[in-house]
Structure 1
Amino acid sequence: MHLLYLDESGHPCDPSSEFFVLAGFSVFERQTHWVETQIDPVAARFSATNPREIEFHGAPMRGGKDEWKGVPPQDRVQAVVDILSLLADRQLSLRVYACVIEKSLFQKQDILSRSYMEVANCFDSFLKNEFRKDKNNAQRGLVILDKSNYEEQIQTLSHVFKHVGHANGQLRNFAEVPLFLDSKASRLIQLADLIAYWIFRYYQSGDIRGFEFIKPYFARFGSPNSQMYGLHEFVTQATTARLAALPSATYPFPTPTQKVVVPTSVPSSP
């Protein structure tokens, strides 16, 4: 089974922001433990006695709020970089999915449903493509999200998309309706939060730093003539032009912390 962890950034009804982002990543079920074990050591830098109390949440980390108050900016930024760099780990095979909506293009009540439809349909197409490549690899998918006010709406959308259909067809490869977890208890939801937040920062504020880390890992699959891409944008031409003209970051992200490789055995003395 493949699991798709999602979170949102922005709000359809918030007049202070122009964009809404629903984003996250998919991972094979057997890899979830290994993702978590890569994130926990980052948390231990900030609480050696109880690293589970540390929650990686995009906005508080950038702003130095909540449990991140008093943590030096360079340490907060390094933590973000080290977690987002997990997307580059080929053994984990993480794939990013996102829908970005410029809110002026949609009715407020349609923003969440459209973004969920795009992301869920792309993930469903990935599962279908895996089966096409290998008839013995009939994988199912499950969507997991942070608990929010959208829970009932997304449950309803998922049921409709699976049993009735949506604009692009039907969801045929989902094992169950979406599950909702407390982000405090799930490192993988926290990773999805960071992905959604830094994609939002790119479109809303022109902050390219996190997006540069994420961009190479958007899902790509299918045939050359009908390749699917994990990023779905609904933005104005003005936004496209603004983003294309962005300069390089004045204060770019640092390189990821090099992981310490612990040898599996100690060589015997000569």
Structure 2
Amino acid sequence: MHLLYADESGNTGDAAQTYFVLAGISLFERQGYWLANQLDNLAREINPADPSSIEFHGSPMFGGKGIWRKHMKADRCRIIREALKIFAYSHQSNRIFACVVDKTKISPNDPVEFSFEQLASRFDHYLSRLHKENNAQRGIIIFDKSTYETTIQGLATDFRTIGHKWGVLRNLSEVPLFLDSKASRLIQLADLIAYSIFRQYEHGDDDFFSIFHDRFDEVGGVKHGLCERL
């Protein structure tokens, strides 16, 4: 089983922001424990007395909000880099899928619908490719429960029955699941990656993006894991 933990960055209703990002990390089920354990260790370094109180979320970490207010910006950015390196240095089978949308280029269409169609179909294509390599795997997409749950659940059901632009989702074993990010280090990691991609496109800041830029799903020099509508 391959799990795609996904989250978004950018506000669809904020005219001051150009881009919307939906991104996820795909990993074989047994890889999840290792990644979550490494993130727990990082949280323990920050707050040994209560590591569970530490949540890794890109925007509040970078901006110094909430529990991150007492940390200097240099330390906050270092912690973001350390968390991203945990994925960047993980098993090569772990991959990133992302869709970056210039909201004006697809208006009046919904950037959430467009991005989810891209993310789901590309993840499904990846699983189909594994099947052709005699490595049959099913997949599940897991979102932060604060993400656009009603919209995404409806789309996923339609894709499995009616289909999307490129066919029908054939390799997903269930409609997307939604978890509280407080309980999932892997959702938090997906948030950091989505935020890092957003900063790269919205602000031209590749400080974080450069850490994992080579981990998108790729075959023969073609980045299937990155969709850009710019």
TM-score interval, smaller chain: over 0.9
The answer as to 2:171 corresponding to 1:173 is: yes
Q: CA deviation at 1:12?
A: 1.6
Relative contact order, CA 8 A, sep 6+: which one is greater? 2
Encode CA deviations 1:212-246: one digit per residue, 9 max, x unaligned.
1121101113xx49x552110000xxxxxxxxxxx
Encode CA deviations 1:84-106: one digit per residue, 9 max, x unaligned.
11233243632001000001111
The corresponding residue for 2:205 is 207
Contact 1:12 1:108 in 2 (8 A): no
The corresponding residue for 2:91 is 91
The corresponding residue for 2:158 is 160
State how far apart, in whole Å, the 2-side matches of 1:149 and 1:125 are: 23
Encode CA deviations 1:65-124: one digit per residue, 9 max, x unaligned.
111011122221111111111233243632001000001111254211110011111100
Q: Which runs of 4+ in 1 moved over 6 A?
A: none
Encode CA deviations 1:132-156: one digit per residue, 9 max, x unaligned.
011xx32100000001251011000
Q: CA deviation at 1:173?
A: 0.3
1:64-213 equivalences under 5 Å are 64-91=64-91, 93-134=93-134, 137-148=135-146, 150-213=148-211
Contact 2:17 2:202 in 1 (8 A): yes
Contact 2:35 2:87 in 1 (8 A): no
Alignment CA distance shift 1:73-1:97 (3 Å): same
The corresponding residue for 2:225 is 230
State how far apart, in whole Å, the 2-side matches of 1:165 and 1:214 are: 32
- Partner amino acid, structure 1, of 2:197: I
Alignment CA distance shift 1:149-1:85 (3 Å): closer
Q: Which runs of 5+ in 1 are unaligned?
A: 236-270
- Partner amino acid, structure 2, of 1:151: E
DSSP-derived class of the 2:154 partner: helix
Give the superposed CA RMSD: 1.5
TM-score (norm 2): 0.96
- Partner amino acid, structure 1, of 2:195: Y
State how far apart, in whole Å, the 1-side matches of 2:27 and 2:40 are: 17
Larger radius of gyration: 1
State how far apart, in whole Å, the 1-side matches of 2:188 and 2:90 are: 20
State how far apart, in whole Å, the 2-side matches of 1:103 and 1:13 are: 10
Instruction: Choose which of 208, 214, 218 in structure 2 pairs with 1:220.
Output: 218
Q: CA deviation at 1:14?
A: 1.4
Between 91-100 and 204-213, the greater mean CA deviation after superposition: 91-100
State how far apart, in whole Å, the 2-side matches of 1:59 and 1:88 are: 20
TM-score (norm 1): 0.82
